[in-house]
Amino acid sequence: MTDTDAAGGPPSTDRPQTSTRDHTELAERLGAWLAARPGATAGRIEGLTAPDTNGMSSETLLFDAEWTDADGEHHERCVARLEPEASAVPVFPTYDLELQHRVMTLVGERTAVPVPRNLWFEPDPAPVGSPFIVMGRVDGVVPPDVMPYPFGDNWLFDADPTDQQRLQDRSVEVLVQLHGLEATPDEVAFLDTDAAGDTPLRRHVNGQRAFYDWTRGAGTADELRIPVLEAAFAWLDEHWPDDEGPTVVSWGDGRIGNMIYRDFEPVAALDWEMAALGPRELDLAWMIFIHRFFQDLAEQYGLPGMPRYLHRDDVAALYESLSGHTPRDLDWYLMYAALRHGIVMTRTAQRGVHFGEREAPEDPDDFVMHRVTIERMLAGTYWDGI
C-alpha cells in the first residue's frame, strides 16, 4: 500500500520502512542455515534484496540459494517471507507462517490456482531471528502498489484495453478456482479463527474486532479509539446478511497486486497470511474494494486513473458466469472490506509514525487514509454514480 506524507501531500514514492534487519548479516545467517539443513554439505545466499513496490506486512526477501547435498549441487531462485520483528511495529499481532505454508500446499494440490512452489518452512526463530518460509521465485510482473497502478506510468495502466480485460477476467477466475477447492472440514479446520461466533463469518468479524482492539492498544494507558471504524462495525451488526451462503477457503488478500502475471495471465498467487474460512464474497469484495481504494487516491490527486476497471458490477457478473454462484449482499461485504483495510491502514500509519516517516494525526480518524470513503458508505452515498 501507499501513504501520504506528513504534510498531507501526494503519496510518497518511497517504500515504507518495514524492517530494521541488516541484509548482509541476514544473508550470512540464511546461508549458514541452508548449509546446516539435513544432508547438506554447503550453502550460500547471494543477491539478497527486498521488493520495491509491494509486500508491506511480512518481511519479503528475494535471493539466489546455492547448496550441495548427496544429490549434487543445486541452485534455486527464492523468495522468503519472515515474521517481522516486534521492534518494527508489525502490521498483525501474530504471523502464522505454518498456516501460510499449509494453505499454499493445499491450494496447489487441490486447485488450478497458481501458487509458488513451497521449498521449506522453518519454525525455529534461532537461525535468522524469526520463523520463515522459502518458496521458489516466479518470473513475471506485478501491478505496483507504490506508486499505485491507477496513477499511470506502469505496464498495466499503459496496456492495451484487451490485455487489461484479460488480466481482470483471469484474476477473477483465480477466485473462482480457489472457492471450488474441495476438502473435508478436518482438512481446512486450521484456517478457522478461534474467535467467538456460531458461524465462520461471525468468527471472522469478531477476529477483526480483536485485531482492531490490538491496533488501538485497548486496555492500555495509550488506548486509542477510531470512531469511523467503530461506526463501521456497528453498521455491519445492524445489516448482517440474512443468508451467509456457503463457506469456502478464503484467500483473505486476493487482489491483483498479490498476483504475478506473464502475458496478462496470473502465474502466481501470493500473500496468504490473511487466509481463513468464510463466504465467497469476502474475497470478491476485497478485490473490488482495493482497486477502488487506489482509484479514489488517483482521483484525489487529479489523475484519471482506471475508473471502470474491476468495477463491482462487472466483477460480480463475471464471477457468477464462471462459478454459478450469484454474489449477494455486496454492499455489506464492501463495507467490511473497507473496514478491514482501515484497520490495516491504521497500523501501517502507526508504523510510519514509529519510523519518523509521518506525524501522528490530531484526529484519530485520520489514521484511516480512506476515512471519507467509509463515511460515505455509512451515509449510503459512496457507490452513487460509480
Residue 6: its pLDDT value, please? 33
Instruction: Band the pLDDT of 21: cuts 50, 70, 90.
Output: confident
What mean pLDDT is predicted for residues 105-125? 96
Residue 375 pLDDT exceeds 90: yes
Q: Per-residue pLDDT averaged across 123-129, rounded?
A: 94
Average pLDDT, the chain: 93
> Do both 286 and 315 map to the same domain?
yes
Residues 267 and 369 in one domain: yes
Q: What is the mean pLDDT of residues 238-259?
A: 97
Span 74-97, pLDDT tens digits: 999 999 999 988 777 889 998 999
Alpha-helical (H) ranges within 277-329 are 281-300, 312-323
Which residues neighbour 196 within 8 Å (Cβ) at sequence distance 6 or greater? 202, 203, 206
In terms of domains, do 132 and 165 share one?
Answer: no
1 belongs to a structural domain: no
Question: In sequence order, which ranges of the chain are alpha helices (DSSP H)?
Answer: 23-35, 97-110, 161-179, 185-188, 200-215, 227-238, 281-300, 312-323, 330-354, 371-379
Residue 65 lies in a domain: yes
Residue 69 lies in a domain: yes
pLDDT of residue 52: 73
Residue 385 in any domain: the answer is no
| The three three-digit cell numbers of residue 157, written as one number | 495502466
Whether the pLDDT of residue 126 is over 50: the answer is: yes
pLDDT value, residue 84: 85
Q: What average pLDDT does range 316-333 have in this prediction?
A: 98
Mean pLDDT of 206-217: 96
Q: Tell me if 301 sits within 8 A of 5, measured CB to CB.
A: no
What CATH code is carried by the domain that includes residue 76? 3.30.200.20
Cα–Cα distance between 255 and 266 in angstroms, integer?
A: 11
User: Are 87 and 175 in a shared domain?
Assistant: no
Give me the domain span that covers residue 210.
149-379
Distance CA 92, CA 90 (A): 6
Residues known to be catalytic: 253
Judge whether 136 and 77 are in contact, CB under 8 Å.
yes
DSSP string, 55-100: --SSEEEEEEEEEEETTEEEEEEEEEEEPPPGGG--SSS---HHHH
Residues 201 and 167 reside in one and the same domain = yes
The number of domains in the chain is: 2
| 265 lies in the same domain as 168 | yes
Q: Does the residue 143 lie in any domain?
A: no
Query: Which pLDDT score, from 0 to 100, does residue 155 have?
Result: 98
Q: Is residue 17 part of a domain?
A: no
- The answer on 270 and 193 residing in a single domain is yes
Q: Is residue 313 part of a domain?
A: yes
Contact 142, 259 (CB under 8 A): yes
Domain shared by 182 and 319, yes or no = yes
pLDDT of 4 reads: 42
Span 135-153, pLDDT tens digits: 999 999 999 999 999 999 9
Average confidence (pLDDT) over 241-262: 97
pTM comes to: 0.92
Answer yes or no: are the C-beta atoms of 122 and 52 closer than 8 Å.
no
- Give yes or no: residues 120 and 216 share one domain: no
Q: Are 46 and 32 in contact (CB under 8 A)?
A: no
Does residue 231 sit in the same domain as residue 374? yes
- The domain that holds 194 is classified in CATH as 3.90.1200.10
pLDDT of residue 53: 58
| Rounded average pLDDT over 205-222 | 95
Mean pLDDT of 253-272: 98
- C-alpha span between 100 and 249 (Å, rounded): 13
- The verdict on 236 and 157 lying in the same domain is yes
| Res 7: pLDDT | 34
Mind listing the pLDDT tens digit for each residue in 159-181? 999 999 999 999 999 999 999 99
Tens-place pLDDT, residues 54-75: 455 568 999 999 999 999 999 9
Do residue 122 and residue 189 come from a single domain? no
